[in-house]
């Protein structure tokens, strides 16, 4: 099995855009939880959430060809930062120092994985 070529900046941006898109599934899921089960709004939001998840899964299969799987998977951790931001912006949920500290550790880990990737 051959190794993928080294990741280019364009590939890294595409990977992070994909993770960003997937983070919106959490926003939809939280909004969906507030709707009456099987109402029209519930069904529409559920369809949007499924479209995001299916689109993510399809694109994930394409993007991992450009990376070592350990590098690609490590980068999905940045989704935590996006979800925390969406929780603050869309739902007014607090961001505590422990949340920021944990997110900083995740981002630091992602940089370490990239730095050590061949």
Quote the pLDDT of residue 104. Answer: 94
Q: Would the pLDDT of 94 be above 80?
A: yes
- What angle, 0 to 180 degrees and rounded to 10, lies between the N-to-C axes of helices 79-91 and 97-116? 150
Local structure of 4: helix, strand or coil: coil
Give me the helix-helix angle, 9-33 and 79-91, nearest 10°: 40
Closest CA to 68 of 19, 27, 116, 20: 116
Alpha carbon distance 95, 66 (integer Å): 34
Residue with tokens 């959430």: 49
Whether 110 has a pLDDT exceeding 70, the answer reads yes
Q: Is the pLDDT of residue 8 over 90?
A: no
Q: How confident is the model at residue 97 (pLDDT cuts 50, 70, 90)?
A: very high
pLDDT at 74: 87
Q: Which residues fall within 8 angstroms of residue 113, CB to CB, at 6 or more apart?
A: 70, 71, 74, 75
pLDDT at 105: 94
Mean pLDDT value of segment 38-43: 95
């Amino acid at each position: 099995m051959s190794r993928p070529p080294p990741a280019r900046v364009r590939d890294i941006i595409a990977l992070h855009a994909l993770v960003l898109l997937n983070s919106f599934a959490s926003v939809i899921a939280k909004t969906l939880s507030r709707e009456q089960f099987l109402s029209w709004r519930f069904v529409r939001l559920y369809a949007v959430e499924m479209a995001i998840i299916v689109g993510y899964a399809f694109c994930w299969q394409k993007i991992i060809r450009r990376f070592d799987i350990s590098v690609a998977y490590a980068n999905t951790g940045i989704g935590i930062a996006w979800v925390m931001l969406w929780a603050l912006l869309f739902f007014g949920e607090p961001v505590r120092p422990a949340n920021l500290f944990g997110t900083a550790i995740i981002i630091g880990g992602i940089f370490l994985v990239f730095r050590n990737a061949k």
